[in-house]
Amino acid sequence: MTKRSKRVAIAIIGATAFTLAGCRDEKIDAAAFPDVQSCKNEASFGGTFTAADCETSFAEAETLHVESAPRYNSLDVCEEQHGEGACGSEAQQTQGGSGGIFMPLLAGYLIGNMLGGRSGMAASQPMYKTADGKFTNAARTSTYSSNKGAAKLSTSQFTRPATTVGKTPMTRATASSRGGFGKVGSGRTGFGG
């Protein structure tokens, strides 16, 4: 092997190692709260997040809820996916929404540390109940056993979900074809066991 080919081989090995390191899924400190007051209570005891973080993240989760919550064409279909009493009309939950479209109620929110300002990411995510009593995010990428707790989560769980505003609401057939809300995501994460 010539001196020049050794240098090229070393450069390729170095580039490969750097690329593989970049492919690793980054984990961040995250917490789930059922409401903003629970987050502020934990902040008062020196939690990971400050009271200001709690309020900012909750406001962002509410905005994402309005933009990206799953929408259904009937209350029955929504409650089949999220449980009885866990849904309301779009008109009740947004300003100017339809009374004939139904969305799950916000059942909590996730806060991710150090995510603010990243392209395509949201520092917080709305959480919704699933029909089996668990919780999931708007993008349906993960299911959580609780809406309260802290863990290291993948940054992919904070990807900004696609908007559902103005889209055709899901029918029983479209919701069933997707396996139900909260059953598409492959990740299961335990907040609180």
Crossing angle for the helix pair 36-44 and 51-68, to the nearest 10 degrees:
160
Cα–Cα distance for residue pair 14/6, rounded to 1 Å: 12
Between strands 135-137 and 142-144, the pairing is antiparallel
Nearest to 184 by CA among 126, 144, 142: 142
Residues whose CB falls within 8 Å of the CB of residue 2, separated by 6 or more in sequence, listed in order: none
- Whether the per-residue pLDDT at 19 is higher than 60: the answer is no
SS3 29: strand
Angle, vertex CA 60, rays to CA 145 and CA 30, nearest 5 = 40
- Whether the per-residue pLDDT at 58 is higher than 50: the answer is yes
Question: Which range has the worst mean pLDDT, 46-50, 67-71, 157-161, 187-191?
Answer: 187-191
Cα–Cα distance for residue pair 169/179, rounded to 1 Å: 16
DSSP 109-126: EEEETT-TT-TTB-SEEE
Nearest to 165 by CA among 71, 63, 102: 71
Contact call for residues 49 and 113 (beta carbons, < 8 A) = yes
Encode pLDDT of 89-141 as tens digits. Answer: 999 998 888 889 999 999 999 998 765 566 667 788 999 999 999 999 887 87
Encode pLDDT of 40-55 as tens digits. Answer: 999 999 878 899 999 9
Q: What is the CA radius of gyration of the chain?
A: 20
pTM: 0.78
Sheet holding 135-137, edge to edge: 149-154, 27-33, 108-112, 124-129, 135-137, 142-144, 187-189
Chain centre to alpha carbon of residue 25: 16
